[in-house]
A and B are shown apart, each in its own frame.
Chain A
C-alpha cells in the first residue's frame, strides 16, 4: 500500500510539474522533462534489447537445446555460444548443471537470422570510421524492405479499396423519400467531387489556371473542411486527456494519499513565487 501512496505522490508531482509549463518554463518543468526523456530512453533501450534482440535474434540463432543432443555443425556453433556465455552469463545463459545450453524460450533454430545479425553488427561499425561505410548497407536494407513491404498494402487499401469506396452510383432509390433521395445524391456527389478535386490539387506538373485552377481551389476547400474537422477532433482528444489527468489528480487529493495534490500544488506555487522574485537566478537553475 505504501508503494501505491509513493507512486501517487510521484505521479501527482510529475503531472503538476509538466502543467507548470503553462505558466512558464521553470525548474519543475525542466526536471520533469529530463526525467521523462531519460527514463523513457532507458525503457525503450531495455525493451528493444530484451524483447527484440535477445529472443528474436539470439534466441533463433542459439535456441535452448540439450547439450548432449547437439550434433554436426551445431557442436561448433554452440562452442561460439560458450564464448558469448563467458562474456555475459545473463544474456547467454547455460543451465546450472550444464545440460541445457541456449536462450530459453520456445524458438526453433533458424540460421538465416545470421544475415540480420551481420547487418546489425555493420551498424556498430559506425564507431570505427575506416569501415563505417558498411552501416549504409544496413540502412539500405531497412529502406528497401520498407518500400517493398508497404507497396502492396498501400496499393491495396489506400488506392484500390478507396477507389472502390468512391465509385458510387448516383441513383434514385424507391425506398427513400424525395428529400431522402436528394440528401443521398448530394452526399454521393460530395464524396466524388471531394476526391476528384482533392486529387487534382496535388497535380504538380500542370499550371493551376482557368478551369484547372477552379477545380484545384475546390479541392483545397475540401481539404480545409477536413482539416477543420480534424482540428475539432483534436480539441476533443486533448480535453479527454486533460480530463484523465484531472481525474487522477482528484484521486491523489484524497485523504488516502495524504492530500498529495494539494500539498504539492502549494509547495510548487510558493517555490515559483519565490523564484519569480529572483528572475536571474531562476533562469539559471
Chain B
C-alpha cells in the first residue's frame, strides 16, 4: 500500500511538477520534493548516471538566492535516491541539487517544484499501519461484542493460573502473608497495567481468605492505582475492615534499591506466596532467587522476554508473554476481556497467513508484497 501510493505520487509529480535538466553525455537528474508530514519533506533524486557528491540547496519564495543546506554523498541517499529534510511549516520552499564530480566541478543541477508543508490529519505513508490498526481493532471489537451476546468462547487452560488460588490458600494455612510486586515500571507500561489488574484478583482472594497482603511499589502513580484497586477488591468481597492503605507502599524509584528493599521484606517477613506480575528488568532474578531461598510459592508473569528465563528457573509457575496479558481475562471471566483475547487470536492467525504467503511469494521472486511491511 505504501509503495503504491508513493509510486503514484512520484509519477504525478514527475509528470507535472519537475524541471528536468539535461547535461553533457546523457546524464540526467530529476529532483522531486514531496511533503511527508508537517515540517518534513521527502526529496527524491532520480539519477541516470553518477556523481561524486551533491550539494543540496534550498530557497523560500521570499529569498532571492539559494542557501546551502548540506553536502550529500551518494551513499547517504537511500537505494531509491531518497532523503528527508526538515523544513518550516506553511512556507513554500524549493530545493536544488547540484551534482559534483570528484574535482568539485558542477556536472549538472536540478530544481524541484516549491513544496509547502503543514500540520496534517493523515500521513499517506503510514496507510499500511493505519489499515493494520483498523483490522486488529475491528477484530477485537467484533469479538468483544460477540462475547457480550453470551456466545461461548473456549479458552485453553493455562497452568500457572490455577496456582493463584492455591498459593494464597497455602499462605492462609501457614498464617503468613502474600507478597505482590507489580513490576518496577510506571503506569504508562502495558505490563504494569496488566500487573495492577491481576493484583485486583489476587487481593480479592486475600480478602476472602483473610490473609495479609504486602504490595511494595516503585512508582507513585502505581501506588495510587494499586491502592485503589486493592481497596475496591476488599470492598467487593465485603471486607473493608481488613483493608489498610499501607498494604500498598512505596519504596523507591531506583531499580536495584527497590530490589534490595523487596529482598529485605522477603527475608524478614518470609511471605508464603510471592507474585511478580509486571514489567521487570535485571532485578527479576534477584527477587525470584531470594523468594526461592525463603521457600515461598512463586508465581511470575511478564511480557519482558529477556526476564522470562529467570522467572521460569526460579519460580514455581510463570505466565509467559501473552499468557500474562490474558491472565486477567481468565481470572475475571469478563466477557469483554475474553472477547478481546479471541480477537487477538484471529489477528495472530492473520499475521501467520500473511507471513506464510509472503515467504511463498518472496521465494518465487515477488518482493513487492514484502515491501508492504517495511517500517515507516
Contact = CB atoms under 8 A, between A and B. Distances in A.
The answer to whether A and B touch directly, with their CB atoms under 8 angstroms apart, is yes
A170 B359 contact: yes
A33 B263 contact: yes
Interface of A, secondary structure class, is helix
Contacts of A206: 154, 156, 345
A243 interface: no
A170 B363 CA distance: 5
Interface string A150-162: 1110011101110
Given A139-B224, A151-B133, A204-B156, A167 B355 contact: yes
Contacts of A160: 128-129, 132, 373-375
A231 B257 CA distance: 23
A147 B189 CA distance: 8
Contacts of A30: 264
Given A146-B190, A204-B345, A227 B156 contact: no
A47 to B, nearest CB: 9
B358 A150 contact: no
A36 interface: yes
Interface residues on B, range: 35 or more
A204 B252 contact: no
A37 B260 contact: yes
B187 interface: yes
Interface of B, secondary structure class, is helix
B73 interface: no
A158 B320 CA distance: 17
B308 A230 contact: yes
A223 to B, nearest CB: 7
A33 B359 contact: no
Contacts, number: 174
A230 B358 contact: no
A234 B155 contact: no
Interface of B: 126, 128-129, 132-133, 136, 153-156, 158, 186-190, 193, 221, 224-225, 228, 250-254, 256-258, 260-261, 263-264, 267-268, 282, 285, 305-306, 308-310, 312-313, 320-323, 326, 341-342, 345, 348-349, 351-352, 354-356, 358-359, 362-363, 365, 369-370, 373-376
Given A168-B362, A234-B285, 6 more contacts: A37-B260, A41-B252, A43-B254, A139-B187, A166-B355, A206-B345
26 contacts: A33-B264, A37-B257, A37-B258, A40-B252, A44-B252, A123-B221, A123-B224, A139-B228, A142-B187, A145-B188, A151-B133, A161-B375, A164-B375, A166-B355, A168-B362, A169-B362, A169-B363, A170-B363, A196-B356, A203-B345, A203-B349, A204-B322, A204-B345, A205-B345, A208-B156, A234-B285
Interface of A: 18, 21, 25, 30, 32-34, 36-41, 43-44, 48, 123, 126, 135-136, 139, 142-143, 145-147, 149-152, 155-157, 159-161, 163-164, 166-171, 192, 195-196, 199-200, 202-208, 223, 226-228, 230-231, 234, 237-238
